[in-house]
Amino acid sequence: MADIWQDAMDHAVAIARRAGDVVREALLDDRMVMTKTSSVDLVTQTDQKVEKLIMQSVKDKFPTHRLIGEESVAAGEACDLSDAPTWIIDPIDGTTNFVHAFPFVAVSIGFSVNKQIEFGVVYSCLEDKMFTARRGKGAFCNGNVLQVSDQEDIRQSIIATEFGSSREPEAVNNIFSSLRSILCIPVHGVRTAGSAAINMCLVASGCVEAYYEIGIHVWDVAAASLIVSEAGGVLMDVDGGSVDLMSRRIVAANSRAIAERITEEIRSFSPPRDDAPPQH
């Protein structure tokens, strides 16, 4: 039977590649940096330009589809995930890396119907790695099948996470408290790639056993969540329940055993949800 979303997925791959060209070209220019929620939450004109490029191309080809994009939400658009076909876009995941030319920068495009991710595309543009997944059909990197690591002993694992974009001492203490507990399990190592989407693709590729973070947004993880699960991995809330992509909390792991072991060590908290009404 023909796949009704194949056209949309082909479009996502093509537009992610075009977006990647724009990102690579912009790396050669001066990168003017602006800030959003804090002095370390960065945005550039390239984030905005790439989001416009992706959104316009989706509107032209699929005019009935809905869109959620990081920079549009930052500009005041609502972040509501309905049952309608919805494209969930992070034009540059890893803007801090982009600003510093640290080579993990991704374009992330997820597509959801009935609140279920149907396909995910993460293009790591400086590595030229195109990660794709279609629900029920596996995950791939540049056409090669992805499979999570089979390591079930957390003591033999590498765990990825990020430090987030708050530098408030209490928030940083929370993050370091969880990180310390996990490091001292002990694990082989802890890594931060600087991009939530790429951290999750590293889980899908079997290079790290798990990634966890509190504070991510739906556009950081929508596409990569399917790439992880189609590579045989599991997704979980940081308290051990089912994952909720609007909750800003995630554990993505190669196995239930490692995901659950991580949830035992995380000092959890709940940032305002992505679909919370705006605060005035």
Ligand X SMILES: Nc1ncnc2c1ncn2[C@@H]1O[C@H](CO)[C@@H](O)[C@H]1OP(=O)(O)O
Residues forming the annotated binding site for Mg(2+)? 70, 90, 92-93, 220
Site for Mg ion in 76-105 (CB under 5 A): 90, 92-93
Shortest gap between Cβ of 276 and ligand X (angstroms)?
Answer: 18
Extract the annotated binding site. Answer: 70, 90, 92-93, 220
- Residue 244 annotated in active site: no
Distance (Å, whole) CA 133 – CA 160: 21
- Residue 41 annotated in active site: no
- Residue 214 annotated in active site: no
Whose CA is closest to 203, among 150, 248, 268? 150
Radius of gyration for the alpha carbons in the chain, expressed in angstroms and rounded: 18
Residue 133 near which of Mg ion, ligand X, none (CB within 5-8 Å, type-dependent)? none
Site residues for ligand X per CB under 6 A: 40-41, 70, 90, 92-96, 162, 164-165, 194-196, 213, 216, 220
Which residues pair with residue 249 across a beta bridge? 214
Site for Mg ion in 210-249 (CB under 5 A): 220
Kindly name the residue from 47, 71, 93, 274 that is annotated as catalytic.
Answer: 93
Residue placing its CB nearer to ligand X in the complex, 108 or 151 = 108
Q: Which residue has the tokens 């396909």?
A: 119
Shortest gap between Cβ of 259 and ligand X (angstroms)?
Answer: 18
Beginning with the edge strand found earlier in the chain, give each strand of the sheet holding 116-124 in spatial order: 66-69, 86-93, 106-113, 116-124, 129-134, 139-141, 144-145
Binding Mg ion (rule: CB under 5 A), the pick from 51, 70, 118, 209 is 70
- Residue 47 annotated in active site: no
- C-alpha distances (whole Å) from 252 to each of 61, 215, 226 are 32, 14, 10
- Residue 70 annotated in active site: yes
- Residue 237 annotated in active site: no
Shortest gap between Cβ of 134 and ligand X (angstroms)?
Answer: 23
Residue placing its CB nearer to ligand X in the complex, 147 or 166 = 166
Residues in Cβ contact with 88 at an 8 Å cutoff, skipping those fewer than 6 apart? 68, 69, 81, 109, 110, 111, 112, 218, 219, 222, 223
Distance (Å, whole) CA 68 – CA 77: 8
Shortest gap between Cβ of 162 and ligand X (angstroms)?
Answer: 4
Distance (Å, whole) CA 99 – CA 114: 36
Distance (Å, whole) CA 272 – CA 201: 26
Where along the sequence are the contacts to Mg ion (CB under 5 A)? 70, 90, 92-93, 220
Residues marked as catalytic: 70, 90, 92-93, 95, 220
